[in-house]
Structure 1
Amino acid sequence: MKKWAFGCFFLILGGFLACESNIKTKEVESITERKAVIYQVFTRLFGNTNTTNKPWGTIDDNGIGKFSDFTETALSEIRDLGVTHIWYTGIPHHAVINDYTEFGISNDDPDVVKGRAGSPYAVKDYYNVNPDLADNPENRLQEFKDLVDRTHKAGMKVLIDIVPNHVARNYEGLTNPEGVLDFGAKDDTSLEYHVNNNFYYVVGEEFKVPSWDGDYQPLGGENNVLSDGKFKEIPAKWTGNGSRLAQPHFNDWYETVKVNYGVRPDGIKDFKELPESYKDKGYQEHYNFWQDKKIPDSWIKFRDIALYWLDFGVDGFRFDMAEMVPVEFWSYMNSNIKMKNPEAFLLAEVYNPELYREYIHKGKMDYLYDKVELYDSIKHIIKGYGWTDHIPVVQKGIQDIEHHMLHFLENHDEQRIASPDFAGNAELAKPAMVVSATISTSPTMIYFGQEVGEPGAEEAGFGDPTRTSIFDYIGVPHHQRWINDKRFDGGQLSKQEKQLRDFYKRLLNFTISSEALMGEYEDIHFFNKENTENYDHRVLSYVRWSPNEKLIIVSNFEEGKTYSFELQIPEHLIQKWDLKDGNYDLKEELYGNALFQLMVEKGLGKINIEIQPLESLILSLKS
């Protein structure tokens, strides 16, 4: 959950930039034979067919999706889109404004809940699931287990969130395994800090609800017996983003409390630091390192949570705001996970590029968001003022970790592509999506509704439009047209929306079947920018190859211009590919409706290209 954004490292590059372009894909322990594609779905929104969309609406007003909405048909359609993993967002039981007291669940206070449906990142009970999502809340764990089993049967793997930096202010486990105590149950609250306290305390002060910003009122001002500007917490705890105030600010993460990992308020660590040499060691050696060490209690609690969900059948985790938690904890946590399931898929939200290698190598993360560099650069290009020159520079800068950098154009934190504040038109992202999905060996992620151009325009309640709400009960209109009264056949989509989804389906299915996309990469953009007429910074080209497949990928980011040029493949690449002088037929892999030839003369390759506005060409030469 991105609650802040680090500065964008985007550069406007003019003219020719000298750049060593040959980047060989680094072999990594966890490399797979084919690319992975993750479909992030906001679980409570997916199956909702109610179109009322009343601001601050209740479930009765606006409806809600359920676990049971992911039918065999729905899951089959998701898989056929080209998806290998589903990240079900919002699964662990978090604070909600709904009365489940008949099931033994305490009511949540609107003064410390964002929205009516609540933030999925304010987890209230890690050993159970959101009761909103169940047809029978008493049977909610079994209903989720059935969904996990259906997803596996459909041929996909299951990811859920773990939010290690913070929990809901009113954390309350109802179904803990035997011997498992709640967070804070044994804390010494007379101390600001103790290594085995789960929380930090503002000793001697009571928690006070923030002063509301502007016109904001909990539940939009609706009367609620608990909405009285008070929440009992004595002593006050530090807030999730690290605020040490007994009364946090409105823009603080006031609905959560920060978890203590054995780091003193002055930053001193009360645990053994990981030796530098461990960045080159595998998870088994990391696991062994911690066996004779004193481990802070919070570490053990989160390890047990992860192992519980692995036993449940979950295949991996997306870790929220991982960089706010010490990298040593991740070494401990992830090595325990991998010892139980070496194939577990571990994805982390890290926004500081200076920490990427630390969290991959020492923290044993499989994948991190490539947000601050690739996503931010591509966003500028889509919006019309960025140059494609920056993309090869980004790829060169991460060549040693490229496999670990997850690519996306949307997720629940980012603006929808079709929103006016981003592109205003989902079509503008087509070349960016091709580049995002094909430029490296890393996984690709899309957000539900992205494939039909969802604009995120609803005034749901808490927060502003441009991002589909994660805080309120709401319908997702373009996505609902694809649901088509739970037929999941796109029957209500417009022609343009159907064509957009077809584009995503073609692209994603190609990526998971291509051998070359798990092979090598080289930029040919700068070579062509220097040597090719009519080629400029709104076009991008590169090659990918393996022993049996060569790909030449060209994308046109310009909305209103067709480019015609003779694309050149440098001599050293022609030599690597062992091509003799002559003509070679190329297959266009996305639509297959055009014929191309690679002409090799005196060791230099040339292809006559005419590329339409927003078009991408994936040209393949099979050995």
Structure 2
Amino acid sequence: MKLKTLYLAVAVLLANTTYAQKHHTKKRMEQTTNHKLIIYQLLPRLFGNTQTLNKTNGSIEENGVGKLNDINDKALQQIKKMGFTHVWYTGVIEHATMTDYSQYGIKADDPDIVKGRAGSPYAIKDYYDIDPDLAVDVKNRVGEYEALIKRTHANGLKVLMDLVPNHVARTYGSDVKPAGVRDFGEDDDKSKGFSPKNDFYYIPGQQFVVPQGYNPGGDEFKSPLKDGHFDENPAKATGNDVFSATPSINDWFETMKLNYGVDYMDHRRNHFDPIAPLWNKVYDILHYWSEKGVDGFRCDMVEMVPIEFWGWVIPKLKAEHPGLVFIGEAYDKGKYNDYIFKGKFDYLYDKVGLYDAIKRLTRDEHHSSTWEINAVWNHDSKGIDEHMLRFMENHDEQRIACNDFAGNPWLAVPGMIITATLNTGPVMVYFGQEVGEPAHGTEGFSGNDGRTSIFDYWGVPEHQKWVNNHEYDGANLSADQQKLRGFYHNLLTAVHNSEALKSGAFYELMMANERQPGFDTRLYIYARYTHNHRILVITNFNRSDRKLTVKLPEDLLTKLNQSGHKQFTDLLSGAKFNTDDISKGVEVSLPAMSGLLLEF
């Protein structure tokens, strides 16, 4: 009890001592003209797959695969109707796989260095090509992706795709690169462990050794290439910075690290003058896809690539395509400012901040508190909060409905409300999240870990009920799933349509209400507002109902020019709340694990 009291006292002190700074931040946010990105992430390999066998380590024939053409006008119209502005097509670039496409002139990959029957989308094999798994006509796979880009735009949505800048598959080699483009490693001096002119890092005189104990594809998978060996001499360093010819099975052994001019063997000494050849090669890739109409890039593991590169390449591309968006996957809070202001990223992942805090609250962990949310915007991402991309699911994280997270998709309601409305930065939803997909089952390389596999061929059962044989009408969803999807629809369309939620200022109401009867630190309360529009956000992470009279402080009411009788309308349910005198607050009832978006 004493520890809890001390924790709250420190949190209140932090909020008080930063009062002036908070109002400075709010003023800057009021001036922001940021357009709120609402992103739907989907893996085409899984999204349109209607086969239901789901055999562990199943082949493409057994378990099926989604196609780019499956993402038809009906699907895109439904995504748009949910309030989304962007679609992130994850894993569309050609990557290493155990499926043989040699009949189409595509060199077969050695399964000993492929993770999963389908392969990891983050082990890129050819940056200028599209995954043949995703094509109806394999020879026209790039054309089918170009058609999807046009189809997405025609339905009022923008296109995001991956850039994996730190590493590539060990079998990397582009057979469709544009004329004049030099391939990765094509001009390397392999006798040198490091050279600022090389694209890869080498271990001279040593042959690469496949980790012992790796059984690619399981016992049933047979291939003449599956022999525990891979011919790579000299060996190259792995994507997770292992400078050894004998990486472990837990390393990113299937990938090779790219060299931006950083000598890891000499205290990470930089060689950026002149810039490494790789810089222009990665620029060429981004330019290639931008010219095809891609609107932005989600950049993988940006902290493993020197910030100087980002500060060079992003402005160069934005000079050509001013509306281009760059999102960085980053986890070091101490480097966020550098990646925004020096690296020129538009947005960064807020995983170690808001995501982790929301997950603890959603799971009802003993020491979790909504003051942790205060710490995110008031400390972790102070001054750059509008640059933080928020989510509760993505391909790396566990599904909310899995037993290791919440076990019930409805428990995400308060966290998802905050995730979507805390600031003007993007919010992202992972396909299947909106119908409560729990990711049950052992897919193959991916175990029964609460994540939908990115390595294996698989069907996504609850999502498939919405797909309904590519009708995308949700006809097979249960009543509860329809209701859940309705919650996401109401939340995201409210964000999409609300001036206050898209671009408004933020005012936290925790201190104004901490002495109110019924208040506790599983409630989180704030206002979002512009001159013309006001939203009061109230969330309850308690596993029981709460009643509270929410107070709005005098300075906020003066700023909003509000007094007297007011009616509040919940944008999520349509429910009405009235107060005879707004200065005395508004009385609300909140069911367990719920929230309100009160427009007034």
- Post-superposition CA distance 1:130-151 (Å, at most 9, x none): 0000001100000000000000
Within the candidate set 215, 219, 225, 1:217 is matched to 215
Equivalenced residue count is 582
The runs of 5 or more residues in structure 2 that have no matched partner are none
Partner residue in 2 for 1:324: 304
Partner residue in 2 for 1:344: 324
Which structure features the higher share of helix residues? Answer: 2
Partner residue in 2 for 1:380: 360
* Whole-angstrom CA distance in 2 between matches of 1:485 and 1:210: 41
Partner residue in 2 for 1:511: 495
Assess, with a 3 A threshold, how the Cα gap between structure 1 residues 326 and 588 changes in structure 2: closer, same or farther. same
Assess, with a 3 A threshold, how the Cα gap between structure 1 residues 314 and 12 changes in structure 2: closer, same or farther. farther
Q: Is 1:620 aligned to residue 591 of structure 2?
A: no
- Post-superposition CA distance 1:282-328 (Å, at most 9, x none): xxxxxxxxxxx622111111000000000111111000000000000
Partner residue in 1 for 2:587: 608
Q: Is 1:100 aligned to residue 101 of structure 2?
A: yes
TM-score normalized with structure 2 length: 0.95
> Aligned-pair distance for 1:598?
6.5
> Aligned-pair distance for 1:458?
2.3
- Post-superposition CA distance 1:378-416 (Å, at most 9, x none): 000000022112111211112310111000000000000
Contact 2:569 2:575 survives alignment (8 Å): no
Partner residue in 2 for 1:285: none
Within the candidate set 537, 541, 559, 2:521 is matched to 537
Q: Is 1:228 aligned to residue 227 of structure 2?
A: yes
Partner residue in 2 for 1:296: 276
Contact 1:25 1:402 survives alignment (8 Å): no
Partner residue in 1 for 2:509: 524
Contact 2:358 2:415 survives alignment (8 Å): yes
* Whole-angstrom CA distance in 2 between matches of 1:124 and 1:500: 39
* Whole-angstrom CA distance in 1 between matches of 2:71 and 2:202: 42
* Whole-angstrom CA distance in 2 between matches of 1:169 and 1:12: 54
Structure 1 SS opposite 2:94: strand
TM-score normalized with structure 1 length: 0.91
* Whole-angstrom CA distance in 1 between matches of 2:532 and 2:324: 29
Contact 1:538 1:556 survives alignment (8 Å): yes
Assess, with a 3 A threshold, how the Cα gap between structure 1 residues 31 and 300 changes in structure 2: closer, same or farther. farther
Contact 2:568 2:576 survives alignment (8 Å): no
Within the candidate set 384, 408, 414, 1:401 is matched to 384
> Aligned-pair distance for 1:219?
0.6
Assess, with a 3 A threshold, how the Cα gap between structure 1 residues 262 and 13 changes in structure 2: closer, same or farther. farther
Assess, with a 3 A threshold, how the Cα gap between structure 1 residues 30 and 346 changes in structure 2: closer, same or farther. farther
Contact 1:13 1:387 survives alignment (8 Å): no
Q: For 1:525, give the aligned amino acid.
A: M
> Aligned-pair distance for 1:31?
5.1
Partner residue in 2 for 1:184: 185
* Whole-angstrom CA distance in 1 between matches of 2:27 and 2:212: 51
* Whole-angstrom CA distance in 1 between matches of 2:95 and 2:371: 43
Partner residue in 2 for 1:266: 266
Structure 2 SS opposite 1:505: helix
Partner residue in 2 for 1:283: none
Q: Is 1:425 aligned to residue 425 of structure 2?
A: no
Partner residue in 1 for 2:532: 548
Q: Is 1:443 aligned to residue 435 of structure 2?
A: no
Structure 2 SS opposite 1:586: strand
Within the candidate set 550, 554, 557, 2:541 is matched to 557
Assess, with a 3 A threshold, how the Cα gap between structure 1 residues 501 and 605 changes in structure 2: closer, same or farther. same
> Aligned-pair distance for 1:542?
0.6
Structure 2 SS opposite 1:536: coil
Structure 1 SS opposite 2:149: helix
Partner residue in 2 for 1:590: 572
> Aligned-pair distance for 1:605?
4.0
Equivalent residue runs for 1:469-488 within 5 Å: 469-488=453-472
Q: For 1:526, give the aligned amino acid.
A: M
After the TM superposition, which of the residue ranges 483-492 and 216-225 deviates more from structure 2?
Answer: 216-225
Partner residue in 1 for 2:119: 118
* Whole-angstrom CA distance in 2 between matches of 1:74 and 1:396: 39
> Aligned-pair distance for 1:26?
6.4
* Whole-angstrom CA distance in 1 between matches of 2:550 and 2:306: 48
> Aligned-pair distance for 1:176?
0.6
* Whole-angstrom CA distance in 2 between matches of 1:28 and 1:334: 24
Partner residue in 2 for 1:7: none
Assess, with a 3 A threshold, how the Cα gap between structure 1 residues 15 and 295 changes in structure 2: closer, same or farther. closer
Q: Is 1:415 aligned to residue 398 of structure 2?
A: yes
Contact 2:577 2:587 survives alignment (8 Å): no
Assess, with a 3 A threshold, how the Cα gap between structure 1 residues 334 and 61 changes in structure 2: closer, same or farther. same
> Aligned-pair distance for 1:463?
2.1
Q: Is 1:497 aligned to residue 481 of structure 2?
A: yes
Contact 2:123 2:167 survives alignment (8 Å): yes
> Aligned-pair distance for 1:613?
1.4
Contact 1:25 1:399 survives alignment (8 Å): no
* Whole-angstrom CA distance in 2 between matches of 1:261 and 1:184: 12
Which protein has greater RCO, CA pairs closer than 8 Å, 6+ apart?
1
How large is the RMSD of aligned CA atoms in angstroms?
1.7
* Whole-angstrom CA distance in 1 between matches of 2:6 and 2:435: 33
Partner residue in 1 for 2:372: 390
> Aligned-pair distance for 1:186?
0.6
Within the candidate set 306, 322, 338, 1:358 is matched to 338
Partner residue in 2 for 1:570: 553
Contact 1:206 1:233 survives alignment (8 Å): yes
> Aligned-pair distance for 1:15?
3.6
Contact 1:87 1:159 survives alignment (8 Å): yes
* Whole-angstrom CA distance in 2 between matches of 1:357 and 1:595: 41
Assess, with a 3 A threshold, how the Cα gap between structure 1 residues 30 and 199 changes in structure 2: closer, same or farther. farther
Structure 2 SS opposite 1:50: coil
> Aligned-pair distance for 1:223?
2.1
- Post-superposition CA distance 1:336-371 (Å, at most 9, x none): 111111110110100000010011100000000000
